[in-house]
Amino acid sequence: MIDQEKVIVIDFGGQYNQLVARRVRECNVYCEIYSYRTDIAQIKAMRPKGIILTGGPNSCYEEGAATYSRELFELGIPVLGLCYGAQLMVHILGGKVEKAQVREYGKTEVFVNPASPLFEGVGELVEDVPDDKNASKKTICWMSHFDYISQLAPGFEAVAHTADCPVAAAQDIERKLFAIQFHPEVLHTPEGTKMLFNFVRNVCGCAGTWRMDSFVEQSIREIREKVGDGKVLCALSGGVDSSVAAVMMSKAVGNRLTCVFVDQGLLRKNEGDEVAAVFGPDGPYDLDFIRINAQERFYGKLAGVTEPERKRKIIGEEFIRVFEEEAKKIGAVDFLVQGTIYPDVVESGLGGESAVIKSHHNVGGLPDYVDFKEIIEPLRFLFKDEVRAAGLELGIPENLVYRQPFPGPGLGIRIIGEVTAEKVRIVQDADAIYREEIAKAGLDRSIGQYFAALTNMRSVGVMGDERTYDYAVALRAVNTIDFMTAESAEIPFSVLQTVMSRIINEVRGVNRVFYDLTSKPPGTIEFE
Ligand code: XMP
């Protein structure tokens, strides 16, 4: 929990809830998401300047539907309800919500009352409209609802409507309560961010001072206070999240931080050395860095294993074992640092309600194996691009900050069939060439994720005058918003040709290169 001006989002399980937090932060107002199960005393203790209730999948009038204490609306804190949140507010305060004949879904023209503080500066004047002040401006909004507000609660007035929805927005100015039936948080509501800005900055009176530099400074101060002269341990993977977390910790507590970096022999080409160059004794940070070269140990465990889930398990377990051995040498520590970021928190159902649990979260289980008192997660409230911004703010090199997402089990899940040192070399070399050419073509920041993988297929080719019988490399590149679905990226053919010919010429053991066109679903992003 960060002690500064903030808005609290109460999550009722809708699919856009993270976006709400996102947009609020774009208004330079710090924002945290809590489940609707969070006790009101806890919400009050956070002294929020405003509260936003999100959408959700239920019908608020049904038995057992997600709800909240009426007291929330009596705190004198401005509240904005969105979609389900809007209906729930009206329902709790004495209005009526019913199922409509038809579902209203998609981009919809909405008529708004410009006198409402929510709609200040929103919409275009409508010329041929009746003398209805609620309809003098129009804009586009994204609707997705079955239920609708059929009767307002006492004290409320409608301030927007659509062709099918008599109450697209409502307000009780006195009590600073606002309800919006549509979704201002999604980009399909082009002026949605303006509406949220109006709420958080004008209605709630937030000053809008949230900036990454102040976040970083404040976090460092808070960590320093918390840790005192305690000892801190961090499992550093070299990925963006753990690197940013480690640097933040080292700025806060210096060499009372020990970072353990396990090179399992499944990293990208030269990655182990790159991580050591940044975090090791010759790097700019004052921390205790331990690199463990455990390549042989991992290859040994993986010998003869072909089944992907088995490989994942072996890599995960061996990682824990190595880490545990090292932690034992260090002895008891007071704090363990984890690079958990906001989407992880929400995905694993800890933050809000819209839980989609991913099966593969890297360091799961680690805490049980290490003797420590408490976990510190300095990035717990940041989105990925905010983590990157924090990294730059902390002076971490750009190549590290903009690193591709890389799975915990590393190249172990980019090699089909048995993992061997030879195959790791092939995929590392091919991947390095691919990344180099993608960067040369200026595509490195625009493609979501791209890498080379090694198929287990060998086929006949001819090189010079010689017959070859070598492996096929698969190139993967996808664009994705949330990594839950993805489309293969359109890479210019000439770039693919260059990559293909360089890989075949420069990487021994490869005589074919494929480009993987599969989207997710039915494929996955990784190639295992
Ligand atoms: P899939 O292959 O499931 O990948 O479509 C989705 C995203 O998750 C990453 N991924 C992992 N990340 N540990 C991680 O930290 C893992 O075990 C793991 N498996 C997949 C993958 O790189 C992609 O970004």
For residue 185, indicate whether it is catalytic. yes
Predicted local distance difference test score (pLDDT) of residue 63 = 92
Secondary structure in 3-state letters for 341-380: CHHHHHHCCCCCCCCCCCCCCCCCCHHHHCCCCEEECCCC
Predicted local distance difference test score (pLDDT) of residue 371 = 82
Q: Look at 259-273, 303-317, 370-384, 504-518 and tell me which has the smallest mean pLDDT.
A: 370-384
> What sign has the CA pseudo-torsion 199, 204, 209, 215?
negative
* Centroid of ligand 1 to alpha carbon of 374 (angstroms): 27
Predicted local distance difference test score (pLDDT) of residue 206 = 97
Q: Is the CB of residue 35 below 6 angstroms from any atom belonging to ligand 1?
A: no
Predicted confidence (pLDDT) at residue 348 exceeds the cutoff of 60: no
Q: Which residue has the tokens 């396990």?
A: 262
What percent of the chain stands above pLDDT 90?
A: 74
Alpha helix locations (H) across 93-211? 192-197
Task: State the average pLDDT over residues 290-311.
Answer: 97
Burial class (CB in 10 A: 0-12, 13-18, 19+), 359: exposed
Predicted local distance difference test score (pLDDT) of residue 341 = 85
Confidence at 130, pLDDT banded by 50, 70, 90? low
> What sign has the CA pseudo-torsion 71, 74, 80, 82?
positive
Predicted local distance difference test score (pLDDT) of residue 173 = 97
What pLDDT, in 10s, does the model give residues 236-258? 988 899 999 999 999 999 999 99
Q: State which amino acid sits at residue 474.
A: A
pTM higher than the cut 0.85:
no
For residue 60, indicate whether it is catalytic. no
> 3-state class of 11 per DSSP?
strand
Query: Which of 240, 309, 360 should be mutated for ligand 1, with most atoms under 8 A from CB?
Result: 360
* Cα–Cα dist 46/492, whole Å: 51
Task: State the average pLDDT over residues 398-408.
Answer: 88
* Centroid of ligand 1 to alpha carbon of 462 (angstroms): 36
Predicted confidence (pLDDT) at residue 75 exceeds the cutoff of 60: yes
Predicted confidence (pLDDT) at residue 51 exceeds the cutoff of 70: yes
Q: Which residue has the tokens 């206070």?
A: 225
> Nearest CA to 510 among 463, 448, 440?
463
Q: Which residue has the tokens 């009526």?
A: 96
Q: Of all atoms in ligand 1, which is nearest to the CA of residue 523?
A: 5
Q: State which amino acid sits at residue 169.
A: A
Token couple for 397? 């090199």
Torsion angle of C-alpha atoms 379, 380, 383, 387, degrees rounded to 10? 0
For residue 83, indicate whether it is catalytic. yes
Task: State the average pLDDT over residues 407-427.
Answer: 96
What pLDDT, in 10s, does the model give residues 86-119? 999 999 999 999 999 888 999 999 999 999 999 9
Tell me which of 371 and 153 has the higher pLDDT: 153
> Nearest CA to 369 among 409, 333, 410, 315?
333
C-alpha distance from residue 66 to each of 11, 35, 69, 74, 345 (Å): 10, 10, 11, 19, 20
Query: Which of 338, 487, 488, 526 should be mutated for ligand 1, with most atoms under 8 A from CB?
Result: 526
* Cα–Cα dist 165/152, whole Å: 13
Confidence at 16, pLDDT banded by 50, 70, 90? confident
> 3-state class of 428 per DSSP?
helix
**Which residue out of 185, 326, 393, 437 is catalytically annotated?**
185
Q: Is the CB of residue 407 below 6 angstroms from any atom belonging to ligand 1?
A: yes
Burial class (CB in 10 A: 0-12, 13-18, 19+), 193: middle
Contacts of 497 (CB under 8 A, 6+ apart): none
* Cα–Cα dist 184/165, whole Å: 16
* Cα–Cα dist 172/79, whole Å: 10
* Centroid of ligand 1 to alpha carbon of 450 (angstroms): 12
Predicted confidence (pLDDT) at residue 191 exceeds the cutoff of 80: yes
* Cα–Cα dist 312/410, whole Å: 9
Predicted confidence (pLDDT) at residue 213 exceeds the cutoff of 70: yes
**Which residue out of 27, 31, 60, 83 is catalytically annotated?**
83
Q: Look at 30-39, 247-256, 464-473, 494-503 and tell me which has the smallest mean pLDDT.
A: 30-39
Predicted local distance difference test score (pLDDT) of residue 364 = 47
Q: How many residues does the chain have?
A: 528
Confidence at 356, pLDDT banded by 50, 70, 90? very low
Q: Is the CB of residue 458 below 6 angstroms from any atom belonging to ligand 1?
A: no
Predicted local distance difference test score (pLDDT) of residue 312 = 94
Q: Which residue has the tokens 């993967």?
A: 476
* Centroid of ligand 1 to alpha carbon of 405 (angstroms): 8
Predicted confidence (pLDDT) at residue 362 exceeds the cutoff of 60: no
Task: State the average pLDDT over residues 214-219.
Answer: 89
Strands 50-53 and 79-82: parallel
Predicted local distance difference test score (pLDDT) of residue 4 = 75
- Contact 164/141 with Cβ under 8 angstroms? no
What pLDDT, in 10s, does the model give residues 450-467? 999 999 999 999 988 899
- Compute the mean pLDDT over every residue in the chain, rounded to the nearest whole number: 91
> Nearest CA to 108 among 143, 158, 146, 84?
143
